[in-house]
């Protein structure tokens, strides 16, 4: 049954307050020092329906950086730039069951080939595949793509978050050098990481993420104008990865409890979508030990139960 958007709008503020209590179960990420300034009690959501209606509740205007949510969009851009074969020569299609920045499985199967494009190792390789002669050009193309999907030109790089991550990213550097050693990464490490850190530092609000989700929910086209932004085939690939790997090593539990494609980021953002219906953007900076927003996941769980969103 289609979601009753009026009912949802009325119900949303109460649900946000109910789910906000779950923020105390999580902690704001601090391994990127700049992210530690976020208020753990923040919870905001925007839902954007294919009819053009949207609704928000809580602190949905709080800006936050995409972090790992960006990985879905660089995957799409790399597929559009290079095609499926070139992309899957470099990254696999399987979940790892490990934390997002794990090195554990990098030596398995084919040495250095990351299991999927949504873990850090895979996303770093994907950043190297984005078209553009310099890191600046690649980053500008990613930003332009995000703005197009968000339907707004205000998303920009948060320079402090970028610098904060670049200055402290020992683990991502280790992953990148390992990938380079195995020739899975065939570009230089630092310029590739510059692109990766910049995509993670693109600053958005819930409304932007909801619009980006809506385009995916509508198979890559703007439901109002009908304009195709991403080919349907690539959106299908991205949505499949969101279901199997989008919430990292909590993706199985999330599929059971919520049952829709989603992608989280360590700034506390979640991109989610109800196929054929709506896009969702959430911010809730307090994270559980798997790196997902505690209050945000709870909010999706409540909404999915109430509106019977599960795909399964
Ligand atoms: N920039 C972050 C990192 O590489 C992104 C990780 C995330 O959002 N889970 O560690």
Q: How much is the pLDDT for 96?
A: 82
187-222 per-position pLDDT tens digit? 999 999 999 999 999 999 999 999 999 999 999 999
Distance CA 204, CA 209 (A): 7
Taking Cα atoms as reference points, which of 236, 250, 244 lies closest to residue 289?
A: 250
**ipTM > 0.90?**
yes
The reply to whether domains 5-64+205-304 and 68-200 share a CATH topology is yes
Q: Is 195 annotated as a binding residue?
A: no
Q: Are 132 and 152 in contact (CB under 8 A)?
A: no
What band does 109 get if pLDDT is binned at 50, 70 and 90?
A: low
Q: Is 248 annotated as a binding residue?
A: yes
- What average pLDDT does the segment 238-249 reach? 95
Residue nearest to atom 2 of ligand 1 (CA): 67
15-61 per-position pLDDT tens digit? 999 999 999 999 999 999 999 999 999 999 999 999 999 999 999 99
CA–CA–CA angle 114, 118, 123 (5° rounding) = 65
- Say which residue the tokens 């399987």 belong to: 94
Q: How much is the pLDDT for 1?
A: 67
Active site (catalytic) residues: 68, 71, 196, 248, 266
The DSSP letter of residue 229 is S
For ligand 1, residues with CB inside 6 Å are 67-68, 100-101, 120, 165, 172, 200, 265-266, 291
Q: How many beta carbons lie within 10 A of that of residue 101, not counting itself?
A: 18
Ligand 1: which of 265, 270, 290 to mutate, most ligand atoms within 8 Å of CB?
Answer: 265
**Ligand 1 atom nearest residue 101's Cα:** 10
- Helix boundaries (H) for the chain: 5-20, 70-82, 84-90, 120-129, 135-150, 159-168, 170-181, 189-200, 206-217, 232-245, 251-257, 294-307
This prediction's pTM: 0.97
Q: How much is the pLDDT for 100?
A: 78
CA-to-CA separations, 289 to 24, 40, 99, 100, 242, in angstroms, rounded: 13, 14, 9, 11, 19
Portion of the chain with pLDDT greater than 90, in percent: 91
Domain boundaries of the chain, sorted by first residue: 5-64+205-304, 68-200
For the domain covering 5-64+205-304, report its CATH number. 3.40.710.10
**CATH fold label, 68-200:** Beta-lactamase (3.40.710)
């Amino acid at each position: 049954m289609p979601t009753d958007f009026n009912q949802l709008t009325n119900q949303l503020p109460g649900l946000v307050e109910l789910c906000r209590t779950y923020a105390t179960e999580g902690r704001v990420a601090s391994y990127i020092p700049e992210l530690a300034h976020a208020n753990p009690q923040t919870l905001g959501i925007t839902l954007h329906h294919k009819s053009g209606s949207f609704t928000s509740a809580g602190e949905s205007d709080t800006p936050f950086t995409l972090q790992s949510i960006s990985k879905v969009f660089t995957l799409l851009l790399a597929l559009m730039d290079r095609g499926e074969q070139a992309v899957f020569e470099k990254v696999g299609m399987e979940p790892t069951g490990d934390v997002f920045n794990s090195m554990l499985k990098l030596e398995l199967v084919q040495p250095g080939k990351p299991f999927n494009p949504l873990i850090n190792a895979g996303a770093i390789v994907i950043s190297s595949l984005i078209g553009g002669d310099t890191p600046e050009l690649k980053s500008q193309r990613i930003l332009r793509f995000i703005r197009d999907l968000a339907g707004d030109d205000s998303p920009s790089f948060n320079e402090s978050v970028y610098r904060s991550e670049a200055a402290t990213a020992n683990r991502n550097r280790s992953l990148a050098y390992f990938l380079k050693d195995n020739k899975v990464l065939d570009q230089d490490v630092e310029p590739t990481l510059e692109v990766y850190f910049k995509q993670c530092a693109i600053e958005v609000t819930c409304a932007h993420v909801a619009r980006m989700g809506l385009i995916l929910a509508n198979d890559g086209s703007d439901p109002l104008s009908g304009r195709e932004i991403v080919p349907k085939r690539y959106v299908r690939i991205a949505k499949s990865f969101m279901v199997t790997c989008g919430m990292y090593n909590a993706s199985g539990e999330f599929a059971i409890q919520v049952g829709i494609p989603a992608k989280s980021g360590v700034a506390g953002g979640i991109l989610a979508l109800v196929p054929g219906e709506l896009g969702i953007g959430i911010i809730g900076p307090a994270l559980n030990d798997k790196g997902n927003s505690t209050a945000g996941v709870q909010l999706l769980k409540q909404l999915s139960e109430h509106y019977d969103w599960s795909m399964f």
